[in-house]
A = this chain, B = another copy of it.
Amino acid sequence: MLDTATGLQLRDSLVLLDQKLRALLRVLLDRAEKTRTLVCAARTHGQIGVPTTYGLRFAIWASEVARHIDRLSEILPRVAVGKLTGAVGTQAALGEKGMEVQETMMSFLGISPVDVANQVVPRDRYAEYIMFLAGVATTLDKIGIEIRTLQRTEIAEVEESFGKKQVGSSTMPHKRNPIKSEQVCGLARVVRAAVEPALQNNTLWDERDLTNSSCERVILPEATILTDHILQVMTRVLEGLTIHRKNVRKNLELLGGVPLAESVMVELTRRGMGRQEAHEVLRESSMKALAGGKTLASVLGGNREVTALLSSKEIEILLDPDRYIGTAPAQVDRVVARLSPLCAS
């Protein structure tokens, strides 16, 4: 009976988590739409590379959250189950109609019956639930890390909304600490930590032992409540997130167009320069630009091999980050179109 009650609780938890995942998805899609062409520096290995857009970033997160919604719908019927199988699974005390009784009762409760069980519901089901939570928490952890990064003083592209009464530091009033994202990252560790005990709880002895009991009293509510909490916190963080467009632009232009060298190189080759030569020209010019604190455009403008093939207007266009974002806006549109039905507001 205890397990049936747990099945009901897990069903209710999943229904609530589903709502909150959809709310988060809604926020991410909104932000993706509004920033579909907000060009910004992309970073790989922490190094600024070719541009991307904030819209794509939000769309990638939205897509991941949508996968969690899919997962939830798949695990729900496996997780939210009850049983009426008696002391060891045989329904010996229930009479001949045991299976029908179980079916009827679970149907009344609105959850599925197990097909078979011993004294307890097999714990692969609950482990699956906890692994689902761990996956969700880790997505939030990743988003939290990104916000904390983009809010770093030297980058300063985004900022968590800041309560009016909140003080960053009494002696350092300028500080804008991303404390909500930090909280999310910290608690995600606790949620993930429930996975291993949840799996071990599936290795019960014989028709059941009691080791799962004390363990589940801690990890089931804890992992559920913390996931629910950080889902809400992160949704609010993303909803209220300020994007400092000036700083976005500053970082985008930080390297004077050098990250876009690829764009010019490809065009030079098209216009007849040897691939090897084009590569070398761009490499040297890039180094020169970085060393001298100049833009790549100005260095290329002084290179005769280049100017023989490209006008300065053409160079400028090739190095314009706003024109080098490929299908990012179209990809965002497709994600928004596909996923909006999941979270119609």
Indicate the member of A168, A218, A226, A331 with the most B CB atoms within 10 Å: A331
Stoichiometry, copies per complex: 4
- Cβ of A14 within 8 Å of any chain B Cβ, yes or no, is no
A255 touches B47 (CB 8 A): no
Residues of B within 8 A of A178 (CB): 45-46
- Cβ of A299 within 8 Å of any chain B Cβ, yes or no, is no
For the residues of A in contact with B, the DSSP-based class is: helix
For A63, give its contact among B87, B95, B115 (CB under 8 Å): B115
For window 244-278 of chain A, which residues contact chain B by CB distance below 8 Å?
251, 254-255, 258-259, 261-263, 265-266
A254 touches B153 (CB 8 A): yes
Q: Which segment, of A15-23, A306-314, A320-328, faces chain B?
A: A320-328
A174 touches B286 (CB 8 A): yes
B211 touches A146 (CB 8 A): no
Instruction: Mark A66-97 against chain B: 1 for CB-CB distance below 8 A, else 0.
Output: 01101100100010000000111111111110
Residues of B within 8 A of A117 (CB): 60
Q: Which residues does A use to contact B, with CB under 8 Å?
A: 41-53, 56-57, 59-60, 63-64, 67-68, 70-71, 74, 78, 86-96, 98-99, 114-119, 122, 124-125, 127-128, 131, 134-135, 138-139, 141-142, 145-146, 148-149, 151-155, 168-179, 182-183, 185-187, 189-190, 192-197, 199-216, 218-219, 222, 226, 251, 254-255, 258-259, 261-263, 265-266, 279, 282-283, 286-287, 290, 324-328, 330-332, 334-335, 338
